[in-house]
């Protein structure tokens, strides 16, 4: 399987996974041969990349951060729940608990971003990833705390369901206040409410509210960090970044926007390069990411596709490989022989 950018797809490429809509319907099944009209439709839908079958990559397969059943349940809930009430909130809590169980099962797995082709639109892909990432960032905390933070992310997605992603990218600083005003009547756990109210606070005091450093609630720091990172990846205004560049942006703000500890935790969890992605190594060789280790996601196992060591599989965690560095995504369809 190769994860191929949408602008590099060609008629005759064969899908290596199922493409779904936001309500879980199958739009394209695995094994379908793409036509030009299909590719144009995928581009209109905002699908940035699609896994396709590729010679020599048959044994490469990504490990999903969440099972498809959970993704479908969350997007179905968000799209059909209507107004906030006890039933809606109860359903959200049940979904979060199911996600938590999956996080426990997958905590020794790097967090590879869930793709738009698995969810249906950039908007809902952003929110599914947000809830899952908040849970992973809160994994070492007590379950009730982590699930409260994730509930905040889930309810925020529900509340934003009729907004565009651009509106979510540049919200009013107090955009969570109307949601909180509605939630107070339902006796929502205080950690959830506080996370919503403070998630735009920034570590140096420049955010809203004007809290600083340790004054910012832990759940708000986690929610704000996950939201900022994922917005850069999934924004639809032409300014989106690949995961590795979005991580670099977040790292550059460590100690200013978010605590150094929180940013380091994000680095230890998120895979900057996805399984099946073709990358540039040391600014000249081309390689494919074969496996992303949970204990060091920035140093995956790669298969070299060009250069003097073409055909070699290399674990970048090994001591004798420390001078070898992935420098970017390879942006062409084919590479030098």
- At 14 the three-state DSSP class reads strand
End-to-end CA distance of the chain: 20
Q: Helix, strand or coil for residue 280?
A: strand
2-52 has which CATH code?
3.90.105.10
Q: Which residues, 6 or more positions from 142, have their beta carbon under 8 angstroms from its beta carbon? A: none
**For the chain, what is the mean pLDDT?**
91
How far, in Å, CA of 100 to CA of 136, rounded?
9
Closest by alpha carbon to 314, among 283, 286, 334? Answer: 286
- The three-class DSSP label of residue 95 is helix
Q: Which fold is adopted by the domain 68-269?
A: Hypothetical protein af1432 (1.10.3210)
Q: What are the structural domain ranges in the chain?
A: 2-52, 68-269, 278-329
pLDDT in tens, 193-247: 999 999 999 999 999 999 999 999 999 999 999 999 999 999 888 888 999 999 9
- Backbone dihedral angles phi then psi of residue 61, each to the nearest 5 degrees: -150, 130
CB 110 within 8 A of CB 271: yes
Per-residue pLDDT of the chain (337 residues; tens, 9 = 90+): 999 999 999 999 999 999 998 878 899 999 999 999 999 999 998 899 999 999 999 999 887 888 999 999 988 888 776 788 888 899 999 999 999 998 888 888 999 999 999 998 888 899 999 999 999 999 999 999 999 999 999 998 877 765 555 555 555 556 678 888 888 888 899 999 999 999 999 999 999 999 999 999 999 999 999 999 999 999 888 888 999 999 999 999 999 999 999 999 999 999 999 999 999 999 999 999 999 999 999 999 999 999 999 999 999 999 999 899 999 999 999 998 7
Bridge partners (DSSP) of residue 4 are 50
Beta bridge partners of 315: 301
């Amino acid at each position: 399987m190769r994860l191929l950018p949408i602008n590099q797809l060609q008629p005759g490429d064969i899908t290596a996974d199922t493409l779904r809509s936001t309500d879980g319907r199958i739009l394209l099944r695995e094994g379908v041969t793409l036509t030009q009209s299909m590719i144009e439709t995928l581009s209109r839908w905002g699908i940035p990349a699609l896994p396709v079958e590729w010679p020599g990559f048959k044994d490469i397969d990504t490990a999903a951060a969440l099972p498809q059943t959970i993704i479908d349940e969350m997007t179905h809930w968000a799209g059909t729940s209507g107004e906030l009430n006890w039933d809606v909130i109860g359903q959200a809590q049940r979904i979060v608990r199911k996600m938590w169980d999956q996080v426990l099962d997958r905590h020794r797995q790097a967090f590879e971003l869930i793709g738009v082709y698995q969810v249906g639109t950039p908007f809902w892909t952003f929110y599914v990833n947000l809830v899952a990432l908040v849970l992973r960032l809160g994994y070492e905390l007590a379950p009730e705390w982590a699930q409260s933070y994730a509930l905040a992310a889930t309810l925020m997605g529900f509340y934003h369901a009729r907004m565009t992603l651009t509106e979510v990218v540049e919200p009013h600083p107090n955009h969570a206040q109307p949601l909180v005003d509605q939630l107070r009547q339902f006796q929502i756990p205080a950690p959830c409410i506080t996370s919503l109210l403070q998630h735009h606070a920034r570590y140096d005091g420049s955010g809203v509210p004007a809290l600083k450093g340790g004054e910012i609630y832990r759940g708000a720091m986690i929610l704000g960090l996950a939201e900022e990172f994922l917005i850069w990846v999934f924004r639809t205004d032409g300014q989106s970044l690949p995961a590795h560049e979005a991580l670099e942006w977040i790292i550059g703000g460590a100690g200013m926007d978010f605590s150094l500890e929180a940013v380091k935790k994000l680095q230890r969890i998120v895979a900057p390069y996805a399984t099946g992605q073709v990358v540039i190594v040391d600014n000249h060789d081309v390689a494919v990411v074969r496996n992303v280790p949970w204990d060091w996601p920035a140093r995956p196992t790669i298969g070299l596709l060009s250069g003097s060591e073409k055909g070699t599989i290399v674990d970048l965690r090994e001591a004798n490989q420390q001078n070898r560095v992935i420098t970017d995504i390879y942006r062409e369809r084919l590479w030098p022989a």
